[in-house]
Amino acid sequence: MTRSVFLFGPFCLPSMQHTLLQDCPQGLPARLARHRLVEAAVALPALGPCDDGQVDGLLVGLSENALALLSQFFAIWGAAPVTVCVETDNGPVQAMAHVLHSAGLADAQDWIVRDIDAAAVLCRATAETLALARTHPLPALRARWSMALSGAASAQRAASTPNAARLRAPWTRDDVEPTDQTRPYAWFFALEDSNLRFRRFDGSLSPQIRRAGFVMSDAVTVLPYDPKRDLVMVIEQFRFGPWLRGASNCWSLEPIAGRIDPFETPETSALREAREETHLVLQHDQLMRVGAGYPSPGAVSEYLYHFVALCDLAEGQSGIAGLNSEDEDIRSHVIPFARLMDLIDKGEVENGPLILTAFWLAHNRVRIRRDMAG
């Protein structure tokens, strides 16, 4: 027995149907009047009432199992199944649709439907959410969604990165055999517990080992540098990590930093974070790539893209910035480069990305200043 269901937006894509419904049913083009697409969560549309609206979609027949999966997913965001009348080329049809009745919802963006890469990110995040739904409460799933998207985008970047192996072994993910994976904790961040075997240097597979890791997403760091005046800008803010460790002073000197949003590039993220954390308005051609890598690959999936941003700075310039929505309280400092190196030597700078970028700048500073002057 099947039920007629109205699908819309990215849920009309075969890839999303395979992920969410474990099926790809034949669909009939349909239109739902007096509704619009609203944003239930980041990049996730839902149907919302609208007297003068219309949503184009597909009318499909779903099994009870597929309908249960769909309803479970929409329930996470508060959308409930209702009976609607959709218009098809063959006339009106009674169908089920999942509608979100909440005031003040923004219109959903429709680019996600057309962008293949964005749709792939959405599918991966949806698959993670469905897996977590078996063991985690709805508040955890809602809190996790934006990071699930960012993690999915990170995975796509990782998969597209060339497998450079001039010194290391030329092995791939096929040389790792996972036997089971669980996520005992998932909120904004997540913890993964895995049993696996990996290829050893003698060519054999290791015994089964157990590993746990902190599941994060890609991020950027940015150190603004004025080559004419030889000034840098660093920021200062309270950090939970030093607090957990027991540090007496939990305020950290750092570069500008932040997570890469699901559908932006590292460079675009760097510009956005600079604007949010220091009010600096930078352009793409001001960014110099320092490098990229894992700060703690033994147990953390985070991958950092480091930049130096060439710009005009004024000595003594400082200010307070940050997003209120993220409870940020960030103070910026503009100081001579020599003072930054002295702060590192004296141990006041304890932030790894700032130390790394400062030493990169120390190595390249003479060349950069000469090129900018010439």
Spell out the CATH class of 219-373.
Answer: alpha beta
Structure confidence at residue 193 (pLDDT):
97
**Can you state the angle between helices 138-160 and 64-76, rounded to 10 degrees?**
100
* CATH 3.10.490.10 domain position(s) in the chain: 2-124
What distances in angstroms separate CA 257 from CA 57, 113, 267, one per listed residue? 40, 30, 12
DSSP string, 304-319: EEEEEEE----TT-EE
Whether 310 contacts 288, CB under 8 Å: yes
Instruction: Quote the CA–CA distance of 229 and 226 in Å, as a whole number.
Output: 6
Structure confidence at residue 110 (pLDDT):
65
Instruction: Quote the CA–CA distance of 295 and 301 in Å, as a whole number.
Output: 9
> Looking at domain 2-124, which CATH architecture does it have?
Roll (3.10)
Per-residue pLDDT of the chain (374 residues; tens, 9 = 90+): 789 999 999 999 899 999 998 877 888 999 999 999 999 998 899 999 999 999 999 999 999 989 998 999 999 999 999 999 999 999 999 999 999 988 778 888 766 555 668 889 999 999 999 999 999 999 999 999 999 999 999 999 999 988 889 999 999 999 999 999 999 999 999 999 999 999 999 999 999 999 999 999 999 999 999 999 999 999 999 999 999 999 999 999 999 999 999 989 999 999 999 999 999 999 999 999 999 999 999 999 999 999 999 999 987 677 888 877 777 889 999 999 999 999 999 999 999 999 999 999 999 999 999 998 87
Structure confidence at residue 114 (pLDDT):
58
Alpha-carbon Rg for the chain in angstroms: 25
